[in-house]
Structure 1
Amino acid sequence: MNIAVIFAGGTGTRMNTRSKPKQFLEMHGKPVLIYTLENFQNHPLIDYIILVCLSSWMDYAKALLKKYGIDKVSAIVPGGESGQESIYHGVRKAEKLYGGEHVVLIHDGVRPLITPELITDCIESVKKNGSAITVSPAIETIFLKEEESNQVGQIFNRSKCEMAKAPQCFKLQDIYEAHEHARAEGRNDFIDSASLMQHYGHPLFTVKGPAENIKITTPSDFYVFRAIMDAKENLQILGL
């Protein structure tokens, strides 16, 4: 069984919108979150979806699921005080409903441009290796920032660096137990599931994702998303 846990608990402060959280902003009349969910809804290998949502927007999310026919969502759970806690809520719900002997794909609700091929590759990597961290090549210079000055610290060889994205995928029991360890130790500072799993000794295997697999966090991200969607629509009109 393959279960997607979609994290849509952010408030969108960097999007500078006061009306709706970023995941509910609309593109061509459809919310960003629905674009994301449809990738998993329409994939034949995905059995269920757990949606993690802002508690004050759960009823709105339920109405959207009904409107757009997203029937693989088996549960909507409220987010927590942090991204780590919110993902834990989703993972815990999946484990409670289905047990731990399954593949879980943890994905951002505001990362709508994934592909069916990426989902398939992630599932196959987890079954073979126990994990799948979606990555893309680093295309900018990366360096460590000096804490007490404006000086540039160590500069890394860009050709050896990759950017971690999503989905980040694991065996459900493994990620659930890692979260429980972190909670027992009072750790709530892991930046993502990959860093959590690596800390608790799990080897991480990479899967290459498409370059357009962006996370819509700022207004400029939203404009890029619109440009990509418009380009795809134009190609369809031209029959290309």
Structure 2
Amino acid sequence: MNIGVIFAGGCGTRMNTKSKPKQFLDLNGKPIIIYTIELFDNHPQIDGIVVVCIESWIPYLKKMIRKFEITKVVRIVPGGNSGQESIYNGLCAAEDFTKEKNEQNSIVLIHDGVRPLITEETITANIAKVKECGSCITTVPAIETVIVDNHDGTLAIPKRSDCLMARAPQSFYLKDILEAHRRSQAEGKTEFIDSCSLMSHYGYKLGLVQGPMENIKITTPTDYFVLRAMVEVHENQQIFGY
């Protein structure tokens, strides 16, 4: 069983929106989060979707799921006090769902609700890579020089060809990522910025796939305008065939 855990629990302070969190901003009459969920809902290998949402926005999300005829969302759970806690809440909901279905070796794909430009091919590649080596981190090549501050007055500048940017989905066997989360909680380590950092810390091998460059996270107003342009391109391709 393959489950998408979509994180939509942030408030989006860098977007400077007043009335709505960024994941609920409308684009052509559809919230950004729905664009993201639809990609998982339409994927033939995804069996269920868990959404982690700001608690006060859960009723609105449920309304949008009905409006846009999303069929694979099996749980909507509130976020926690941090990104790590919110993802854990979603993973626990996925665990409950797999127990109901008596599934023992499920794969979970952890994705940002504000990354609506992921492709079907990348989702497929994530599932295949987890089956191959136990995990999958979606990446893109670094297109600018990366500088590492050693905090001792020196800098390290790795070769750009050796550098990758981690994006999403980040995918694992559900039992493995839950084990890592529970170890971190027992040890009081709650500072991990994302799932690949957590899994790397606990010694899990990380498999890599290259995703599309346009798989950006909608964080700032500029990102929103890029998304709007990309959606227009995709719609024109469908209408005019180019």
TM-score using structure 1 length: 0.96
State whether structure 2 residue 87 is matched by structure 1 residue 83. Answer: no
What does the per-residue CA deviation read over 1:92-122, in whole Å, with 9 as the maximum and x for residues that have no partner?
1111221451000000000000111111110
Match of 1:28 in 2: 28
CA distance in 2, matches of 1:148, 1:217: 31
Match of 2:11 in 1: 11
Match of 1:51 in 2: 51
Secondary structure at the counterpart of residue 96 of structure 1: helix
CA distance in 2, matches of 1:236, 1:73: 26
Within a 5 Å distance, the mapping from 1:85-100 to structure 2 comes to 85-99=85-99, 100=104
Secondary structure at the counterpart of residue 156 of structure 1: coil
**One-letter code aligned to 1:132:** C
CA distance in 2, matches of 1:48, 1:237: 30
CA distance in 2, matches of 1:97, 1:34: 21
Runs of 4+ deviating beyond 6 Å: none
What does the per-residue CA deviation read over 1:118-161, in whole Å, with 9 as the maximum and x for residues that have no partner?
11110011111100100000001110136487xx7211111110
**Residue ranges of structure 1 left out of the alignment (5+ in a row):** none
Question: Which of 120, 125, 128 is the equivalent residue of 1:116?
Answer: 120
CA distance in 1, matches of 2:240, 2:39: 24
Match of 1:212 in 2: 214
Number of residue equivalences: 238
Question: Which of 156, 159, 162 is the equivalent residue of 2:158?
Answer: 156
CA distance in 1, matches of 2:55, 2:234: 34
What does the per-residue CA deviation read over 1:138-196, in whole Å, with 9 as the maximum and x for residues that have no partner?
001110136487xx721111111000000000000000111000111111100100000
Identity %: 58
Secondary structure at the counterpart of residue 148 of structure 2: strand
Say if 1:153 and 1:216 are closer, same or farther in 2 by CA, change over 3 A.
Answer: same
**Residue ranges of structure 2 left out of the alignment (5+ in a row):** none
Match of 2:181 in 1: 179
How big is the shift at 1:201? Answer: 1.1
CA distance in 1, matches of 2:203, 2:218: 31
Match of 1:63 in 2: 63
How big is the shift at 1:13? Answer: 0.2
How big is the shift at 1:230? Answer: 1.3
CA distance in 1, matches of 2:151, 2:222: 28
**One-letter code aligned to 2:33:** L
Match of 1:142 in 2: 146
CA distance in 1, matches of 2:74, 2:198: 26
Match of 1:237 in 2: 239
Match of 1:129 in 2: 133
State whether structure 2 residue 213 is matched by structure 1 residue 201. Answer: no
CA distance in 1, matches of 2:35, 2:152: 43
**One-letter code aligned to 1:171:** Y
Match of 1:104 in 2: 108
What does the per-residue CA deviation read over 1:179-233, in whole Å, with 9 as the maximum and x for residues that have no partner?
0001111111001000001111100000110111000001000011011111222
CA distance in 1, matches of 2:21, 2:151: 33
